[in-house]
Each structure stands twice: as structure tokens, then as C-alpha cells.
């Protein structure tokens, strides 16, 4: 009993010292700031990234695909940290519905990625790899999927297909490094090029990395509101930012190949 | 003589202890980040909370440290007017880049030399002397590592984990040094008061004797 009283008295004595009261107040303020910073805040973020050669995916080609820095913030702390790391980070706040859609896309991300790789291998193959049940075909899909583990999303489908065309036909579309060729767009089963997200950041990434020719999906005709298409957004970005990169909209893989084979 | 650095010293010890606990938690969470990422994802909210608190506590600790080191040197000069480093000189030795390569070592080694001269603080002086090389090396190595990681010049999970371990060790070393300096100053302050009182005592006796002599009149 006496011990308990002594302990209480020692605590009271501690609180009588101004430095401990000050420390306690500082600690309370710190905890308050921490709670505020960890308050839920869901926003999709996107910033310019870089370009990677398809060789990184084990493909013997000369072209590049673009990647951007993107993801989802869960709280204000994550937003502040990202803003400190990237100068050009853009945040798009998500409401509950958007969040559900985003999470669904994230869950399905691996499936979409695999689909675009399968379609790219199938579209680019004109010989033995064309049979989707053959060992060679499955091995190639597995190799590319494995080599691309660090990338998420399916927007590199078109460039994988172009790289595979180079590999299968022993071609060099870069004309021995004369052209830096990159692009973005999914590869669909019918060889068409599908729309992607973050076209602004991908175009700026291409420009920043000295890309000469940049392929984008020719998708104006698929949108009721054409301002939502990659094609129209790209036109706006080129005008606004005064980009030097030559942007080529293509509807199918074959359009891109014909364009590249006709380069001077 | 009252030790002016006592209040700040108490706060600094408290915040360094807190920083040590937080740094140790971050060592654990970073270990999971580096080697068991799936586990880390389930505790990432703890990592974020501790990181935020740690950053704020770290900023406050730096401010307290500078105020404390200033006051410690003020106390040292009050104890001995010939103490070679002025309070402002101590701050300059810490804050001026490149000069602090010499200054940081100089501050604590001068303090050790001073404390060695007193038999009551010699034990603390010896301990501080042993800790200086660890503190000095850790201070600059952690600073360099954190700068390289912050600038993304190094991005390796092993190095990241190592930087958190070194941060925690630096906290422990610095807390030990702070405690020894704090204790030494309190001892010297108490001795100074005792010495002053003993010098005053004969004067009072004479006065009483004088009063007693005066009584018969």
C-alpha cells in the first residue's frame, strides 16, 4: 500500500518538473500529427517513369516500352512522401466507386498482363509459335511473364509484339540505332492495339528519354466522347507541351510493322 | 552553482530513450521489409506510424541537442573560466560542414580531458572517451548512408536494413554519452556548491563569536 502511494507520489513529482510536462505535451502533439497523417486518403498517383528495352524481357529486338510510376495512396502520409520524392506526381482522388473499380483492376492486373503477353506472342508469330498449345509458345509466354515481374499492367503488349517480330524475322527497326522507337498500347487477340492509362506521363517519359518514334493506340473511333481517347489526349499533350517526339497512332500490330518497314 | 543544462539534459535523455525505442521498432519492421515483404505488408501501418513519430522526435531531439550542448559549455565555463571551448564555438564545431569533421571529435575529447582532472568524474570521463570513436564514426556513416539512400544513389534492401541498425546503435551510444556528461556536470555542480559553502562557513562562525562577545555590553 505504502509502495503504491510512493509510486504515485513519484509520478506526481515527475509531472511537477516543467521539462517532463513539456515533453508530455510534445509527445501528445506528435501523436496527434501522426493520427492526422494516417487518416485514409485514397488517390491514384502517376508520374513520368522511364523506357526499357524489350531485350530486358529476353526478346531480341531493338524497341522500347515506357513505364510510369503509378499506384494508390492509402493515407496523407503516403501522399506527402510521394510528393517529396517526385516533382511531377499527379494525384487523382478516388471516391468509393472508383476505389472498388481500381482494386478490381489491380486484382485482375496479372491476368490482363498475361493476356497481353499471350496476344503479343500469338500476333507476332507467323510460324511454329502460333499454336497456343505448343511447348515453344507456352515457354515464350512464361519467359516474358517471368522477366517482366517488376512491371505491372498490360500496356507493353504492342512493343513486345513488335520486338518479337524483329526477333522472328531477324529485323532491326531501329536501323542500327538510328531511331529510338518506343510505344504503348495493349495487344488484343485480333491484333488490334488497345487503349491505356497515363498517356500524358508516357508521352512525357518518351520525350525525356530522347525517343524519336512513339506508337500510341488509334482509338478515337471507339469513344462516344472522343476527348477520353488516347489519341485525342495525346494530341492535346503534344500541343500543350510542344513535344518533339514523332507520335504515330496505330490501330493494329500490322499498321505499326508496315510503318517501321517503310522508314527511310 | 546551478547547472543550467539540467532541464534540457533531462528532456534530451527522455527523447533519446524514446528515439532508441522507435529506432529499434523500425529495425524490426525494416527487417521484414527487406527479407519478408509479405509479412511487412501486414504491418506496414505500424511502420508508417512509427516512422512519422520517429521523424518528429528526431527533429525535436536535434534542436534539444544543440540547445543542450550550448548550455553544457556554458556550465563548463562557469565551473572553470579557462575551459577552452565557448558555447558558440561548440555549436560552430557541430554545425559548420567539413569543420565538424574535426569539431565533433574536438568537443567531446576536450570534455573528456576536463572531466579526467576531477577524481569524482574520472569514471564518466573514461566511459565517454571509449564511446567517442563509436559516436564519431556512426554519426558520419549514418549521415552518409541516409543521404545516399534519400538521393536513391543506393537502393539495396541490405543497405537499407543496415542503415536502420546503425541509426539505432547511434541512438544507444549517444544516450550513454549524454547520461555520462549529465551525471558528471551534476557531480561537479554539487561539488562546487559544497566547496562554496565550506568557504563561507568560517565567516559565519566568526560572526557568531563576535555577537557572543558583544552580549555583555
**DSSP state letters, A36-98:** HHTSEEEEEEEEEEEEEEGGGGT---S-EEEEEEEEEEEEHHHHHHHHHH-TT-EEEE--HHH
pLDDT of residue B213 exceeding 50, the answer is no
What ipTM is given for this predicted complex? Answer: 0.79
Same domain for A202 and A165: yes
Same domain for A126 and A30: no
Look up residue B164 and give its three cell numbers. Answer: 536502420
Same domain for A220 and A118: yes
Q: Please report residues of B whose CB lies closer than 8 A to that of A47.
A: none
Rounded to an integer, the average pLDDT of B25-46 is: 94
Same domain for A256 and A219: yes
Structural domain boundaries enclosing A113: 51-66+108-261
What confidence tens digit (pLDDT) does each residue in B83-92 have? 999 999 999 9
* Cross-strand bridge partners of residue A186: A194
As a whole number of angstroms, the distance between CA A96 and CA A99 comes to 5
pLDDT confidence band for B37 (50 / 70 / 90): very high
Same domain for A113 and A17: no
Q: Is residue A250 classed as helix, strand or coil in its secondary structure?
A: strand
Same domain for A59 and A26: no
Q: Does residue A75 belong to the interface with chain B, where contact is any CB pair within 8 Å?
A: yes
Q: Which CATH number does the domain housing residue A60 bear?
A: 3.30.230
Provide the pLDDT for residue A126. Answer: 56
Same domain for A192 and A61: yes
Q: Which of A30, A75, A78 sits opposite B56 (nearest CB)?
A: A30
As a whole number of angstroms, the distance between CA A3 and CA A21 comes to 24
**CA distance between the termini of chain A:** 96
As a whole number of angstroms, the distance between CA A190 and CA A215 comes to 18
A96 lies in some domain = no
A101 lies in some domain = no
Which residue of B6, B11, B62 to mutate against A (max A Cβ within 10 Å)?
B11
Considering only residues 89 to 108 of chain A, which have any Cβ-Cβ distance to chain B shorter than 8 Å? Answer: none
Same domain for A59 and A22: no
As a whole number of angstroms, the distance between CA A243 and CA B138 comes to 48
Q: Does residue A78 belong to the interface with chain B, where contact is any CB pair within 8 Å?
A: yes
A22 lies in some domain = yes
Pairs of CB atoms within 8 A across A/B: 35
What confidence tens digit (pLDDT) does each residue in A222-248 have? 888 888 899 999 999 999 999 999 999
* Closest CA in chain B for residue A28: B53
- Based on C-alpha coordinates, what's the Rg of chain B? 23
As a whole number of angstroms, the distance between CA A211 and CA B130 comes to 58
Same domain for A125 and A252: yes
Asked whether A63 and A54 are in contact (CB, 8 A), the reply is yes
Domain count, chain A: 2
A223 lies in some domain = yes
The model's pTM is 0.75
Same domain for A142 and A24: no
Residue by residue, what is the 3-state secondary structure of B140-207?
HHHHHHHHHHHCCCCCCHHHHHHHHHHHHHHHHHHHHHHHHHHHHHHHHHHHHHHHHHHHHHHHHHHH
Query: Angle, nearest 10°, between helix axes A96-124 and A135-147?
Result: 130
Same domain for A242 and A212: yes
* Closest CA in chain B for residue A21: B11
Q: Which of B10, B15, B49 sits opposite A38 (nearest CB)?
A: B49
Q: Please report residues of A whose CB lies closer than 8 A to that of B56.
A: 30, 33-34
Q: Does residue B48 belong to the interface with chain A, where contact is any CB pair within 8 Å?
A: yes
Look up residue A243 and give its three cell numbers. Answer: 513535344
Tally of CB atoms within 10 A around A214: 26
Provide the pLDDT for residue B3. Answer: 83
Asked whether A213 and A175 are in contact (CB, 8 A), the reply is no
pLDDT confidence band for B217 (50 / 70 / 90): very low
A28 lies in some domain = yes
Q: Is residue A22 classed as helix, strand or coil in its secondary structure?
A: helix
CA–CA distances in Å: residue A68 to residues A112, A181, A209, A231, B176: 17, 17, 13, 18, 47
A81 lies in some domain = no
As a whole number of angstroms, the distance between CA B182 and CA B172 comes to 15
State the DSSP H helix or E strand holding residue B94, giving kind and residue range, or none if neither: helix B87-95
A89 lies in some domain = no
Residues of chain A falling short of pLDDT 50: none
A123 lies in some domain = yes
Same domain for A114 and A30: no
Q: Please report residues of B whose CB lies closer than 8 A to that of A19.
A: 7-8, 10-11, 14
Amino acid at each position: 500500500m505504502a509502495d503504491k502511494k510512493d509510486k504515485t507520489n513519484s509520478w506526481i513529482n515527475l509531472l511537477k518538473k516543467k521539462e517532463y510536462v513539456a515533453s508530455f505535451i510534445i509527445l501528445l502533439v506528435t501523436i496527434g500529427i501522426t493520427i492526422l497523417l494516417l487518416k485514409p486518403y485514397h488517390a491514384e498517383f502517376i508520374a513520368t517513369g522511364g523506357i526499357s528495352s524489350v531485350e530486358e524481357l529476353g526478346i531480341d529486338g531493338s524497341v522500347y516500352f515506357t513505364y510510369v510510376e503509378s499506384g494508390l495512396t492509402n493515407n496523407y502520409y503516403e501522399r506527402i512522401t510521394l510528393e517529396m520524392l517526385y516533382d511531377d506526381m499527379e494525384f487523382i482522388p478516388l471516391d468509393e466507386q472508383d476505389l472498388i473499380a481500381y482494386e478490381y483492376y489491380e486484382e485482375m492486373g496479372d491476368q490482363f498482363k498475361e493476356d497481353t503477353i499471350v496476344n503479343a506472342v500469338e500476333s507476332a508469330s507467323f510460324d511454329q509459335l502460333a499454336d497456343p498449345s505448343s511447348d515453344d509458345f507456352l515457354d515464350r509466354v512464361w519467359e516474358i511473364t517471368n522477366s517482366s515481374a517488376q512491371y505491372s499492367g498490360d500496356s507493353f503488349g504492342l512493343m513486345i509484339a513488335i520486338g518479337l517480330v524483329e526477333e522472328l524475322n531477324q529485323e532491326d527497326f531501329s536501323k542500327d540505332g538510328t531511331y529510338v522507337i518506343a510505344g504503348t498500347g495493349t495487344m488484343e487477340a485480333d491484333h488490334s492495339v488497345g487503349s491505356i492509362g497515363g498517356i500524358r506521363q508516357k508521352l512525357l517519359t518518351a520525350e525525356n528519354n530522347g525517343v524519336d518514334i512513339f506508337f500510341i493506340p488509334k482509338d478515337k473511333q471507339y469513344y462516344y466522347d472522343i476527348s477520353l481517347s488516347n489519341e485525342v489526349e495525346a494530341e492535346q499533350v503534344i500541343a500543350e507541351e510542344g513535344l518533339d517526339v514523332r507520335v504515330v497512332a496505330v490501330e493494329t500490330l500490322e499498321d505499326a510493322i508496315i510503318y517501321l518497314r517503310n522508314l527511310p | 552553482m546551478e547547472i543550467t543544462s539540467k532541464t534540457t539534459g533531462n528532456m534530451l535523455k527522455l527523447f533519446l530513450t524514446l528515439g532508441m525505442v522507435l529506432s529499434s521498432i523500425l529495425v524490426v519492421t525494416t527487417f521484414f521489409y527487406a527479407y519478408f515483404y509479405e509479412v511487412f505488408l501486414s504491418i506496414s501501418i505500424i511502420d508508417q506510424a512509427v516512422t512519422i513519430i520517429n521523424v518528429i522526435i528526431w527533429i525535436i531531439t536535434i534542436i534539444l541537442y544543440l540547445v543542450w550542448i550550448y548550455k553544457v559549455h556554458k556550465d563548463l565555463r562557469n565551473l572553470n573560466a579557462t575551459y577552452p571551448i565557448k558555447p558558440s564555438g561548440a555549436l560552430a564545431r557541430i554545425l559548420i560542414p567539413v569543420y565538424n569533421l574535426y569539431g565533433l571529435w574536438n568537443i567531446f575529447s576536450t570534455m573528456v580531458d576536463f572531466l579526467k582532472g576531477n577524481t569524482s568524474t574520472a569514471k564518466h570521463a573514461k566511459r565517454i572517451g571509449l564511446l567517442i570513436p563509436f559516436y564519431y564514426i556512426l554519426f558520419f556513416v549514418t549521415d552518409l548512408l541516409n543521404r545516399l539512400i534519400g538521393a536513391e544513389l543506393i537502393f539495396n534492401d541490405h543497405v537499407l536494413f543496415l542503415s536502420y541498425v546503425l541509426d539505432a546503435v547511434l541512438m544507444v551510444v549517444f544516450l550513454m554519452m549524454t547520461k555520462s556528461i549529465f551525471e558528471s556536470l551534476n557531480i561537479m555542480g554539487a561539488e562546487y556548491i559544497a566547496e562554496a559553502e565550506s568557504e563561507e562557513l568560517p565567516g559565519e562562525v566568526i560572526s557568531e563569536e563576535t555577537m557572543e562577545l558583544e552580549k555583555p555590553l
